[in-house]
């Protein structure tokens, strides 16, 4: 029998370091306008704070991942 333990979070109880790939993801979409424009989505996977999401998204955008 496997027991699932509850993970406590908030208030600095647990700090989990995640990589940028765990927080945001670059997704290639179908090209728009007869392949004249590349279309991508930078998806938010974990952020609650918009500013932190935009900081991570700008890193992915500058890499062009």
* Residue 4 belongs to a domain: no
Please state the rounded mean pLDDT for residues 39-53.
Answer: 91
Q: Is residue 32 part of a domain?
A: yes
Domain presence at residue 56: yes
- Whole-number Å distance between alpha carbons of 32 and 12: 44
Residues contacting residue 7 through CB under 8 Å, at least 6 positions apart: 14
Position 5 in a domain: no
Q: Which domain holds residue 42?
A: 20-63
Specify the number of domains making up the chain: 1
Whether residue 57 lies inside any domain: the answer is yes
Q: pLDDT (tens digit, 9 = 90+) per residue, 1-43?
A: 445 555 555 555 555 668 888 999 999 888 777 777 888 889 9
Does residue 27 belong to any structural domain of this protein?
yes
CB-count burial class (<10 Å; 0-12, 13-18, 19+) for 24: buried
Identify whether the C-beta of residue 24 lies closer than 8 Å to the C-beta of residue 53. yes
Quote the pLDDT of residue 1: 43
pTM: 0.60
């Amino acid at each position: 029998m496997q027991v699932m333990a509850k993970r406590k979070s908030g208030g600095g109880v647990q700090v989990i370091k995640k990589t940028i790939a765990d927080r945001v993801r670059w997704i290639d979409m179908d090209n728009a306008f007869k392949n004249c424009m590349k279309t991508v989505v930078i998806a938010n996977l974990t952020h609650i704070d918009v500013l932190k999401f935009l900081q991570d998204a700008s890193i992915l955008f500058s890499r062009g991942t």
